[in-house]
Structure 1
Amino acid sequence: MSALQNPLAYQPDVLGEDYEQLKLSFANDYEGEVCATLIRKKATQTTTKAVLYIHGFIDYFFQTEMAEQFNQHGYDFYALDLRKYGRSRLSHQNYYNVRDLREYDDEITQALEIIGAEGHLSVVLAGHSTGGLITTLYAAHHPQHPLIKALWANSPFYDFNMHPIKRKLGVPQLSRLAKHFPDLKFPSELNKWYVPSLHQSEHGEWNFDLQWKQPSYSMVRISFVRAIHEAQKEIHCGGLKLSVPALIMHSHQTLNPKKWGVAAQTSDVILDVKDIEKQAKNLQGDICVETIQNGLHDLVLSAPDVRAEVYTKLFQWLEQKKI
């Protein structure tokens, strides 16, 4: 489907006033019918600048403060709920099921086409965690894209957070097995305190759908492991080049708390920040890496003073780069 050949029938979004959504349709995949959802919040003043945000694993777009920050700084805000996530998951689909991260290229490409058709000349491509990996690869694979002018990666999933032996030997074995048995499941080992540190029903300040961003996810399909492993290899080899400036942010520490406490509120409990920093150095191009003291895995969901630092550094960087 070409965005330029069809009327854009935006509908009111679940986030309420000023948020709109547009359903995007694609060819069937191994589970059948596929769609994605483009969410939009326009700035109060007409602008040719926009941001396109991609969420992480077991996630969807709900970070309204981030959208409003971009609006206040003169950007129209767009976000995608990828296929099989959040607003886009259909009843016959397994949540988050993917076999190759390039499956998401279709919705990113179509979203950018729509953003361009709506009068924008430049786009900041932004992604969190798995979305940070997806957007890094998309920007690298489309070096001549006329709209993409910058990349902002918020705690990108550049490596698996696990024991080095398991990462070196176990992940490749699972990846090979996934070629033949993609739906086999493997323990996710995700820290159980992450969502409780965020949701207002427990220890956090944010209200989000606990079906779309689930409190626990004990088992993951090995097809996801393979998709991530194959994508990360492009970064690990040191040959991935970005033609636009990139800002890569991460917390100052990774901890793995076994019980509730301050660690869950002041650290990345999902990814190893040392891995993010190490792999960011493998990227070629204009790369800036920023460490955020006491940041959570999703930096824009951190404590108020922490996320204020995130936005200050982000918009200072964008102003410096004239984007």
Structure 2
Amino acid sequence: MSARLSPPLPDALGEPWVQRRIALRPSPDYDGQPEAVLVHRREPTSRQAVLYLHGFTDYFFQADHAERWVAAGLDFYALDLRMSGRALGEKARAGDVRDLHHHDEEIGVALDAIRADGHEQVVLLGHSTGGLIAVSWVDRHPGQVDAVVLNSPWLEHNGPWTERVILTRVIRLLARWLPSVVVSHLDEPYGRWLREQGWDYDLAWKPVEGFPMRAGMAASVRREHARVARGLAVDVPVLLCCSTRSGSPSSPTAEELRSADCVLDVRHMVDRAPRLGPDVSVVQVHGGVHDLALSPGPAREAYESTAIEWVTERLAASRDGSV
């Protein structure tokens, strides 16, 4: 096992969940030595595994969702990426990642650990920004995973033309000289709604109002959006799941909050899906919210059943050599 990966330690989720801290290489972009954290159940039981990448202003806390995958025969691992969740240090500016490609380091260490645990097939599961990171990583690292599942991936900026074009140019200039300057904030209604629904998570790691978006991070996201728009060549099957409709991020109705994506525009996801690779399936979930795993019961069940059945079939076909 890599010397950069700690032995299993108790995790905030309690038994049987443990965490292993990943010591990342020092970089002038980050104060001190950055970390990432790999979370998983204490004893692996399968030769198939899922690696989950969370979104912006997020971390892994959806243990009930993970247990659905475990019950289906896939061990579940989750990576709290640098500058997020469990990996936030005392001096860290939350989410102040200068380049999404920096996450390549912790993804590589996590996958090595998963393989070392005896897993022969691995699925990368990404939500929102984690979905963008996932497809970018697989496009640049062919042959490393067996399938990709995307939960409402952030594949384009949800805003008017002036923001997508003019503001992007300004942010790129700011990122060169002032990468930590705040350029935007998330809207609060979706975060407040999640808390009202009883989802229990650490507000220090996932505040209702979100973490500020800084220039370096925003510029990197827009670079990856441009790569997606030009077309990727993801070499494994991809399942993209999203809601059937979007709501207003800043002033959603109560009905939109409980049955629509009030963070991103699902039309962007559906439009960009064919550009990810040659084998992409799209499933829109009626009544789904931005994080489909946190949707009201029927939509959550539909998403989980769809994703697990698709993965099970695709991994079996890959193992049998029929695809």
Task: Give the alignment of 1:214-225 within 5 angstroms.
Answer: 214-217=207-210, 219-225=212-218
How many residue pairs get aligned? The number is 313
> What displacement does 1:180 show?
1.4
> What displacement does 1:280 show?
1.1
Counterpart position of 2:41 = 41
Is 1:197 aligned with 2:193? yes
The residue type equivalent to 2:270 in the other structure is E
Counterpart position of 1:168 = 165
Q: Provide TM-score, normalisation by structure 2.
A: 0.93
Using the TM superposition, name which of 34-43 and 160-169 deviates more. 34-43
Task: Sort the Cα spacing of 1:6 and 1:138 in 2 relative to 1 into closer, same or farther, 3 A.
Answer: closer
Residues 295 and 306 in structure 1, CA contact (< 8 A), matched pair in contact too: yes
Counterpart position of 2:92 = 93
Distance in 2 (CA, whole Å) between partners of 1:250 and 1:304 is 15
Distance in 2 (CA, whole Å) between partners of 1:6 and 1:132 is 25
> What displacement does 1:26 show?
1.2
> What displacement does 1:106 show?
0.5
> What displacement does 1:4 show?
4.1
Distance in 2 (CA, whole Å) between partners of 1:7 and 1:56 is 23
> Which secondary structure does the structure 2 equivalent of 1:230 belong to?
helix
Task: Sort the Cα spacing of 1:259 and 1:162 in 2 relative to 1 into closer, same or farther, 3 A.
Answer: closer
Task: Sort the Cα spacing of 1:154 and 1:42 in 2 relative to 1 into closer, same or farther, 3 A.
Answer: farther
Task: Sort the Cα spacing of 1:254 and 1:92 in 2 relative to 1 into closer, same or farther, 3 A.
Answer: same
The residue type equivalent to 2:99 in the other structure is D
Percent of aligned pairs with the same residue? 32
Distance in 1 (CA, whole Å) between partners of 2:164 and 2:66 is 35
Distance in 1 (CA, whole Å) between partners of 2:289 and 2:156 is 17
Task: Give the alignment of 1:1-323 within 5 angstroms.
Answer: 3-4=1-2, 9-29=7-27, 30=29, 31-41=31-41, 46-145=45-144, 148-188=145-185, 190-199=186-195, 203-217=196-210, 219-238=212-231, 240-256=232-248, 258=251, 261-323=254-316
Distance in 2 (CA, whole Å) between partners of 1:124 and 1:218 is 28
Residues 42 and 71 in structure 1, CA contact (< 8 A), matched pair in contact too: no
Distance in 1 (CA, whole Å) between partners of 2:5 and 2:132 is 31
> What displacement does 1:184 show?
1.6
Q: Provide TM-score, normalisation by structure 1.
A: 0.93
> What displacement does 1:7 show?
7.6
Residues 95 and 213 in structure 2, CA contact (< 8 A), matched pair in contact too: no
Task: Sort the Cα spacing of 1:269 and 1:7 in 2 relative to 1 into closer, same or farther, 3 A.
Answer: closer
RMSD: 1.7
> What displacement does 1:173 show?
2.1
> What displacement does 1:27 show?
1.3
The residue type equivalent to 1:109 in the other structure is G
